[in-house]
């Protein structure tokens, strides 16, 4: 059994990825600054992966692979505190890569973002689209990508579309689906920034977890790959799907658009399908229905 270091493994995507790794017979070691509930058979380190504390994890465990999810996951939080964003995103990545190379890790899988495409020049956006930035979050994610490519380790860089699913923190983590779901479940008014016609490519966290694990089992290296559905859903359409599923009666309140928000985003997923033989399984309607049934995943 191979040992996988999962940084940020107690976060939203991390929990799903940990369970998927266990299902596929990997030993899981989690390093995270905030440890809440724990999964049996997983080894936990309560540390900041951007610091020297991480060296002990590599020293005391034979790490075969790293899935690096630890990050400041919010665009708005990055705008408010760019120094923290730099620490949590870029500095953490440099530290993880340095130690991964020192201890001969086979591959690093990195969670990047559609935010590096900013307002795209064409849609759907493929991996050859030039990068540009509307936030510090996108800048540090792109800088992390570049450092990973520079440092000489086998890598897969995944650029995630907008991730959603049961158990996502509506307030601590990015995600319009989670925020709307929380407010509408408690019959509170929803604010829509802008006119609501801006659209996104929403990808289920279950699909993200499966793809993260596939990156370890496939003999594919040194690629940047979009993880997406290649389908657009406007914020107004998302509101309507949730309204129907949750039997919500209130009208949304339209407010000013936020700085750093991307207007239109759809990611081309042909490369994912071609290289990994995997097509995302969950559309938005079924994903929302699943959230309404589960309520909480963990």
Q: Catalogue the active-site residues.
A: 137
The CB density around residue 120, as the number of other CB atoms within 10 Å, is 19
d(CA 81, CA 76): 9
- Say if residues 64 and 76 touch (Cβ distance below 8 Å): no
205-217 vs 12-23: helix crossing angle, rounded to 10: 50
- Say if residues 13 and 209 touch (Cβ distance below 8 Å): yes
d(CA 184, CA 69): 29
Q: Which residues contact 23 (CB under 8 A, 6 or more apart)?
A: none
């Amino acid at each position: 059994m191979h040992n996988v270091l999962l940084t940020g493994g107690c976060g939203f995507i991390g929990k799903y990825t940990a369970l998927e790794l266990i299902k596929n017979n990997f030993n899981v070691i989690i390093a995270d600054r905030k440890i809440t509930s724990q999964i049996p058979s997983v080894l936990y380190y309560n540390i900041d992966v951007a610091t020297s504390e991480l060296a002990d994890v590599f020293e005391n465990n034979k790490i075969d692979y790293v899935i690096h999810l630890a990050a400041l996951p919010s665009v708005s939080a990055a705008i408010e505190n760019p120094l923290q964003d730099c620490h949590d995103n870029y500095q953490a990545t440099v530290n993880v890569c340095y130690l991964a190379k020192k201890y001969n890790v086979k591959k690093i899988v990195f969670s990047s973002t559609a935010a590096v495409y900013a307002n795209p020049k064409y849609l759907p956006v493929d991996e050859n689209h030039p990068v540009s930035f509307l936030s510090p979050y996108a800048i540090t994610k792109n800088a992390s990508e570049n450092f990973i490519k520079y440092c000489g380790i086998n890598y897969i860089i995944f650029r995630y579309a907008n991730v959603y699913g049961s158990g996502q923190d509506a307030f601590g983590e990015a995600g319009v689906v989670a925020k709307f779901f929380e407010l509408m479940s408690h019959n509170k008014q929803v604010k829509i920034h802008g006119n609501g016609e801006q659209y996104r490519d929403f990808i289920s966290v279950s699909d993200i977890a499966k793809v993260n694990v596939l990156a370890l089992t496939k003999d594919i290296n040194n690629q940047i790959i979009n993880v997406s559905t290649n389908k657009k859903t406007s914020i107004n359409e998302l509101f309507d799907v949730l309204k129907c599923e949750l039997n919500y009666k209130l009208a949304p309140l339209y407010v000013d658009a936020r700085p750093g928000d991307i207007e239109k985003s759809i990611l081309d997923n042909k490369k994912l399908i071609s290289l990994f033989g995997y097509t995302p399984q969950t559309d938005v309607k079924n994903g929302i229905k699943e959230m309404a049934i589960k309520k909480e995943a963990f």
